Amino acid sequence: LTGVPREQRAFQYVLAHAIPGDPRHVLQTFDQWCYRCEHLSSVGPVKGRIVERLLYERAPLRVLELGTYCGYGTVLLAQGLPPGARLYTVEVDPRHAAVAEKVIRLAGFDEQTVELIVGPSEEVIPQLKEKHGLLKADFVFMDHWKRWYLRDLRLLETHQLLAEGATVLADNVLFPGAPHFLQYAKTCGKYRCKVHRASLEY
């Protein structure tokens, strides 16, 4: 009704209420907006704790996020990185990427820590080595269109972008669901699979 996209409305709220340079407070402010005002399909605080725990256990130095959206997951990942680590995040929608860029910088992460790449994942993944310097990813977080999960996992394999023992974490594989991805991950023999049960965000 206002002509302002809800992602932009959420960012205006975060800008007005979050403490700049404090990633945890930026995420909490996002959560307040989503609980009280409008739903955003970010990973949210409940599933966010699973992400944080896995990051702490794995301590990855090279992280790839597919699906930046408004930057919530990006900030969540970036705040859990060990020193010297780098996060590459890919967003297909330029409007969402513009919001995410501001959120990421507001949280205090510079381009040396977080590189935001705008474009379709099927075009970006083959260019990650040559164009962006990502040789191998230790940790991949998939939170984009579910129908792209399997295609992009296969692309990561084809271009040998998964480090030995890499972790691939995919959100919402049961609902709305990514059945082909799940079937492949369970049966191809390359992965050990675990389903983390959680409620939907917000």
CATH number at residue 64: 3.40.50.150
Burial of residue 140, with CB atoms counted within 10 A of its CB: 0-12 exposed, 13-18 middle, 19 or more buried: buried
Does any domain span residue 202? no
- For residue 1, the model assigns a pLDDT of 59
Quote the domain boundaries for residue 116.
6-188
- Phi-psi bin for 59: left (phi > 0), alpha (psi -120 to 50), beta? left
Integer Cα distance of 24 and 45 in angstroms: 11
Domains of the chain: total: 1
Does any domain span residue 66? yes
Does any domain span residue 198? no
Does any domain span residue 196? no
Does any domain span residue 201? no
Under a CB-based contact definition with an 8 Å cutoff, are residues 106 and 14 in contact? yes
Integer Cα distance of 155 and 149 in angstroms: 10
Does any domain span residue 80? yes
Give strand pairing partners of 167. Answer: 139
pLDDT per residue rounded down to tens, the chain (202 residues): 578 999 999 999 999 999 999 999 999 999 999 999 999 999 999 999 999 999 999 999 999 999 999 999 999 999 999 999 999 999 999 999 999 999 999 999 999 999 999 999 999 999 999 999 999 999 999 999 999 999 999 999 999 999 999 999 999 999 889 999 999 999 999 999 999 988 888 8
pTM for the full model? 0.96
- For residue 73, the model assigns a pLDDT of 98
Catalytic residues: 143, 146, 171-172, 201
**Residue from 173, 175, 151, 171 nearest 50 by CA:** 171
Integer Cα distance of 191 and 98 in angstroms: 35
Does any domain span residue 100? yes
- For residue 63, the model assigns a pLDDT of 98
- For residue 199, the model assigns a pLDDT of 85
> Residue 44 is encoded by which pair of tokens?
């949210």
**Residue from 46, 74, 68, 64 nearest 156 by CA:** 64
- For residue 3, the model assigns a pLDDT of 84
* 20 contact partners, CB below 8 Å, separation of at least 6: 106, 108
Does any domain span residue 59? yes
